[in-house]
């Protein structure tokens, strides 16, 4: 299981002790753990499907959107996703908020850096947009209010431009990410 082996290498290189669960019959594996973003416990879930050569990283927010805010969350998440190179953030019908990125590694073996990049981009999205996500998901603030405000304000300090991508300086990532 080439993908699962690389995921285990990635876990080990990060100094984590989480164990991968294997389903030999279906040629799949998964591992989950808690990762702290903005002092909040986000759940990370990494799945592999060896038959399809797909690795998927999920990051779940530690809160759900309140039921009457699902449409507003969709507007905000669409705005975020339109400005993001990798993965996407979404909200399901129960209000669970998650970022997901899948990679097809057909005819190749992923590097540990590729897995780290996928993970870091999701973390960066939640770190960069945390205040907006919580405001829209949990309060009466509308997505459009936040989008209008964010578009009217210059980039915050600590943001460095790289070509057409943007990455925050205080959240190092080997990949240039947008917010």
**pLDDT score at 169:** 42
**pLDDT score at 37:** 94
**Pairing state of beta strands 21-23 and 28-37?**
antiparallel
Burial 54-85 (b: 16+ CB within 10 A, else e): bbbbbbbbeebbeeebbebbeebbebbeeebe
Locate the domains of the chain by residue range: 2-168
Q: What are the two backbone dihedrals, phi and then psi, of residue 28, each rounded to the nearest 5 degrees?
A: -125, 165
Helix axes 70-82, 112-138, angle to 10 degrees: 140
Give this prediction's pTM. Answer: 0.81
**pLDDT score at 152:** 76
Give the residue among 43, 95, 104 at the shortest CA–CA distance from 71. Answer: 95
**pLDDT score at 165:** 39
CB of 175 closer than 8 Å to CB of 117: yes
Q: What is the pLDDT of residues 56-106, one digit of tens each?
A: 999 999 999 999 999 999 999 999 998 887 899 999 999 999 999 999 999
Averages of pLDDT over runs of 10 residues in the chain (179 residues) are 92 92 95 94 96 96 96 94 88 96 89 91 93 95 88 63 41 37
Which CATH number is associated with domain 2-168? 3.30.1460.10
Q: What are the two backbone dihedrals, phi and then psi, of residue 125, each rounded to the nearest 5 degrees?
A: -60, -50
């Amino acid at each position: 299981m080439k993908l699962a082996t690389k995921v285990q290498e990635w876990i080990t290189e990060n100094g984590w002790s989480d164990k991968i669960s294997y389903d030999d019959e279906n040629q799949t594996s998964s591992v989950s753990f808690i990762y702290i973003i903005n002092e909040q416990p986000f759940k990370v879930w990494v799945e592999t499907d060896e038959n399809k050569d797909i690795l998927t990283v999920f990051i779940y927010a530690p809160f759900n959107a309140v039921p009457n805010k699902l449409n507003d969350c969709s507007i905000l998440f669409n705005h975020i996703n339109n400005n993001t190179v990798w993965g996407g953030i979404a909200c399901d019908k129960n209000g669970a908020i998650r970022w997901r990125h899948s990679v097809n590694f057909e005819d190749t073996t992923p590097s540990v850096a590729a897995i780290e990049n996928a993970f870091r981009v999701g973390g960066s999205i939640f770190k960069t947009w945390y205040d907006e996500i919580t405001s829209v998901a949990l309060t009466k603030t509308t997505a459009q209010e936040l989008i209008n405000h964010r578009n009217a304000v210059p980039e915050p300090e600590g943001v460095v431009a790289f070509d057409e991508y943007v990455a925050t300086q205080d959240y190092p990532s080997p990949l240039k990410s947008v917010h």
